Structure 1
Amino acid sequence: MFSTYRKLFAEPGIRSLTVIGLLAKMPGLGIASVLILHIVGNLHRGFAAGSVAAACWTAGAGLGAPLQGRGLDHYGLRRVFGLLVTAQAVFWSLGHLLPYPALLVAAFFGGLTTLPAFTVIRLALAGMVTEDNRHTAYAVDAMTTDIAYMVGPTVGILLASTASPTVAFLVMGGLQLLVGGAYLVLDPPLQRALPAAGAPKPGLRHWLSARMMCALGVTVATSIAVVGFEVAAIGTLQRHGQLAWSWLLLVLAGVASVAGGFLYGGMKRPPSVFAVTAALGLLCMPIGLATQWYWLCLLSVPANLFVAPALSASAGAVSGLAPDDSKGVAMGTYASAILVGNVIGSPIAGTGLDHGGPGTAFAVFGATAAAVAGLAFLCDTRLRARDKTMAPAAQELENSGATQ
């Protein structure tokens, strides 16, 4: 297993790409917390108002990810990042001076032009890593996401509480610009070659195949399970008056996910994305039986062992199905699929908590994730069987044409 990782990091450029990718994810994951605390602390509005601003940023990021990916496909990293870094510099230097209504509009455009850190590293891994090491590379990417998730929001909250929300706002923006500059210097290869000037742009049907829809569907399922777990777990602790233990729960969940990603990345023959995601959903269901914080922590470990593997496998599935000239837009759509899962999973878990308690919440979002993964598996299986049936007929037609 360790030799698998040594082989991966021996490939040129992977170490620097991993470090920059980790640093790039931290501010991206901490932006929502910093926006909320700025609105509460500086603009003296409630957490609901702060959540609306965070939602505006998220909506912009979800819409912008495929557009940015398409730009990366056709214009390359430096031209796209030059525009995005400029737009981010404007937002982070002026955003903390805006009144609340203007900040909502600015947050949407800030999300629309946010740096596609997750998309870029996945595109670079697809182009820089050999086929044998690809699933290990995506496992490392998922593990660094877990680390960034534990560190990014924590740094933002600490800065806001110990210094001021304005300091947190400016530091988060400075990190965004610093990482953007690092990507411009590194300029990792995102595809073999940019299309020639004037070449027709591939249409939607070129890359959004039926099997790609299955891969994006299982990505949504993974995100439903991940965000549903977070909402249901925090809600369960609050119901039992044990919210003070939420930090330990989230740290254990993150550590379990990293451990699962490490094991998955070292496998020679990893299980399919459908199996991993279905297992994640099913293992979330019994967590709702916990009535004390220590049982909640213990029951959460098996499910979270599958989080990083599910994210890794889904990213690999989307990247593997995308043509070389459309990997950017495909991986951007993958990022949007994760946000779609967040939008679906959070209200499912919240509604379950309100109407049936923790047991219902975990059962509903876990079953939903497993069912979507199962449905995607059945569709993908039928499509692969159809392709195998059609391939000999197409070959026979080609041979007969050549004979004539």
Structure 2
Amino acid sequence: MDLGAYRPVLADRDTRSALLLGFLIRVPMWAGGVILTLHVVTTLGRSYGEAGLVTAAATLAVAVSGPWRGRLLDRIGLRRTVGPSLVVQAVCWSVAPWVGYAPLIAVAALAGLFVVPTFSILRQVIIRSVPLEQRRTALSLDSSATELSFMAGPAIGVWLATSWHTGWALLVCELASVAAGFVLWLVNPPLTAGPGALAGATDGDVEGAGDDTDGVPADRTGGAPARAPRAFRGFITVPVAAVYLAAACSTLVLSGTDVSIVAALRSFGDTGAIGWVLALWGAGSLVGGLLYGAWHRSFSVFWLLAGLAATTVPVALAVGVPSFAVLVTISGFLCAPTITATVEQLSRQVPERFRGEMMGWHGSAMTAGSAIGAPVAGFAIDHGGWSRGFVVVGGLGLVVAVGGLLASGTSRRAGRRPAVPAAAGAAGAVGTVGADSESGRPAASMEH
């Protein structure tokens, strides 16, 4: 482990700017979510369940918009994608604080559909700005900055909502997000390496990477390249889909843990501890992310997911607030590393020309996992107490992680099979379309 690995990453101006801008954008984003819930409950006089419907409508819209907005980033660039979003966001959030409950659902959904894809944009900037060998470190810094913003945003949101009228608090917070998006539009950082890079090549091809962390190893037999995985849509091959599944499962575990923490502390009769216990959980993730970024190698996302799930299950053994706080902090150590690994692994497997859409699908996968994790944990808690929530979401994470590791082992064994001689396999090669997931070279002469 070398903490000095962060020095050259932070020395890059584009990376520094992306990290700072990401923090400034995400703080009002997290705060806005809390204020929206409090606005529905206190100002509109609705229940928490009805507040959840507003959040669910916006979340579903964000999940639907992710791949679409990412595809626009790939095709028409940052400014032409973000510009219309800023207009729609400004109009929606100028109206939302002053309408009734039913119109608020529609306005929140429309705002979610045109949300500025800041996570996608900033991570693309970071990936483009640093060499391949520094990517894990840079993405770990981004995950750590996200944890800091998550720790600060909700606290600021609660303070604004209790100090001001929730309508004005919502307006100020969301317009601050629009202003941060405008700064992003104004700066207009490049998202790709530009025409000098190999068109359509994966980073493994450009940088000469050939490790096994992506689950599909480079061919080391000296023969012809291994047959490329079949793509379901453009760049989405079986290994890529597996990483998306891991991303969804990681947020399933995290959102289920979030709900279970609240249920546990209510059961212990200490709801006042919810805030600082959640902060400890985030701090554990922050420390874990920084340590992972300084580590000397990457790990498969499925190993990290297995660790995340395996440290989540024992939280169910807590017998009081002190032991619970310790176990929750430990369970947080692999949160940021797991998310970082999903982004890093995808960036190695997916050609640069699809990077915006890749990040869009990644965001949608994580959103879907969050949407599933909370009700799954809630159902388990209703039928077996707070401890059952940790056991169920952790168990689901372990099942997916073990399945991914077994599938990766099968892929590696298949990749080591002797290659078919060129003359014998020529007829079959003509119909093979795609790119080798490790090198990015065409698997055959036939092109789209």
Query: Could you say what secondary structure the match of 2:234 adopts?
Result: helix
Match of 1:215 among 237, 243, 255: 243
Q: Are the aligned partners of 1:124 and 1:190 in contact in 2 as well (CA < 8 Å)?
A: yes
C-alpha contact (below 8 Å) 1:217/1:373 kept by paired residues: no
Residue-by-residue CA offset, 1:175-215 (whole Å, 9 max, x unaligned) = 11111111112212112348xxxxxxxx9622111100111
Give yes or no for the alignment of 1:323 onto 2:351. Answer: yes
d(CA) in 1 for partners of 2:59 and 2:174? Answer: 16
Distance 1:320 1:24 in 2: 27
1:114 is aligned to 115
Q: Which amino acid aligns with 1:311?
A: I
Find the aligned partners of 2:250 and 2:150 in 1 and give their Cα distance. 16
- Flag the 1:390–1:44 CA change in 2: closer, same or farther, 3 A: farther
In 1, Cα distance between equivalents of 2:89 and 2:68: 16
2:13 alignment partner, SS class: coil
Q: Is the 8 A contact 2:144 2:285 kept in 1?
A: yes
**Distance in 2 of aligned mates of 1:393 and 1:300:** 55
Q: How big is the shift at 1:84? A: 0.7
**Other structure's SS at 2:44 match:** coil
CA contact (8 A) 1:219 1:334 kept: yes
Which residue of structure 1 lines up, in the alignment, with residue 175 of structure 2?
A: 174
Any conservation in 1 of the 2:15–2:125 contact (CA below 8 Å)?
no
Tell me what 1:386 maps to.
Answer: 414
SS of 2:233 mapped into structure 1: helix
Deviation per residue, 1:73-109 (Å, 9 max, x gap): 1011011010111110111111112221111111111
Q: Structure 1 regions of 5+ residues with no counterpart?
A: 195-202
**Partner deviation per Cα, 1:338-381 (whole Å, 9 max, x = no partner):** 11111221122111211111232211110101111221222233
Which aligned pairs between 1:125-140 and structure 2 lie closer than 5 A? 125-140=126-141
CA RMSD, 1 decimal: 2.2
Q: Does 1:272 align with 2:300?
A: yes
1:300 equivalenced with 2:301 (yes/no) = no
2: CA distance, partners of 1:278 / 1:73: 33
2:282 aligns with one of 243, 254, 276? 254
Q: Assess if the C-alpha contact under 8 Å between 2:304 and 2:337 holds in 1.
A: yes
Q: CA shift at 1:124, angstroms? A: 1.2
Deviation digits for residues 294-339 of structure 1 (CA, Å, limit 9, x no counterpart): 1110111221111111111111112221111111111111011111
Does 1:149 find its partner at 2:150? yes
* TM value normalised by structure 1: 0.92
Residue 395 of structure 2 aligns with an amino acid whose one-letter code is A
- Provide the residue aligned with 1:77 in structure 2: 78
Instruction: Report the CA distance shift for 1:263/1:248 in structure 2 as closer, same or farther (over 3 A).
Output: same
| In the alignment, structure 1 residue 357 sits paired with structure 2 residue 385 | yes
Post-superposition Cα deviations, 1:19-63, rounded to whole Å, max 9, x if no partner, equal: 001111222223321211122222222222211111111111111
**What is the aligned partner in structure 1 of residue 439 from structure 2?**
none
**How far, CA to CA, are the matches of 2:418 and 2:16 in structure 1?**
42
> 1:387 deviation in Å?
4.2
Instruction: Give the partner amino acid of 2:22.
Output: G
Equivalent in 192, 216, 234 of residue 262 of structure 2: 234
Q: Distance in 2 between matches of 1:247 and 1:214?
A: 34
- Could you say if the C-alpha distance between residues 263 and 54 of structure 1 is closer, same or farther in structure 2, counting changes exceeding 3 Å? same
Identify which range, 274-283 or 185-194, moves more after superposition. Answer: 185-194
Work out the CA distance in 1 between the residues paired with 2:79 and 2:165.
34
SS at structure 2 position matched to 1:206:
coil
Deviation by residue 1:229-255 (Cα, 9 ceiling, x = unmatched): 111111011112111111111111111
Cα distance in 2, alignment partners of residues 307 and 56 from structure 1: 26
Instruction: Give the alignment's TM-score, normalised by structure 2.
Output: 0.84
Q: Find the aligned partners of 1:366 and 1:97 in 2 and give their Cα distance.
A: 41
Contact kept? 1:345, 1:365, Cα under 8 Å:
yes
Partner of residue 125, structure 2: 124
**1:208 partner SS:** coil
The alpha-carbon distance between structure 1 residues 72 and 387, as it changes in their structure 2 partners (threshold 3 A), is farther
Give, in whole Å, the separation in 2 of the partners of 1:237 and 1:30: 23
Partner AA of 1:292 in structure 2:
G
Cα distance, 1:395 vs structure 2: 9.9
Distance, in Å, in 2 between the alignment partners of 1:395 and 1:236 is 65
Q: Distance in 2 between matches of 1:128 and 1:12?
A: 9
- Offset of residue 167 of structure 1: 2.1
Mapped partners of 1:390, 1:333: distance in 2: 35
Aligned length: 394
Q: What residue is the counterpart of 2:23 in the other structure? A: 22
Segment drifting more, 34-43 vs 61-70: 34-43
More deviation, 58-67/91-100: 91-100
Q: 2:399 aligns with which of 341, 351, 371?
A: 371
Q: Which residue of the partner structure matches residue 161 of structure 2?
A: 160
- Give the secondary structure class of the aligned counterpart of 1:13: helix
What is residue 89 of structure 2 aligned with on the other side? 88
> Would you tell me which structure has more helix in proportion to its own residues?
1
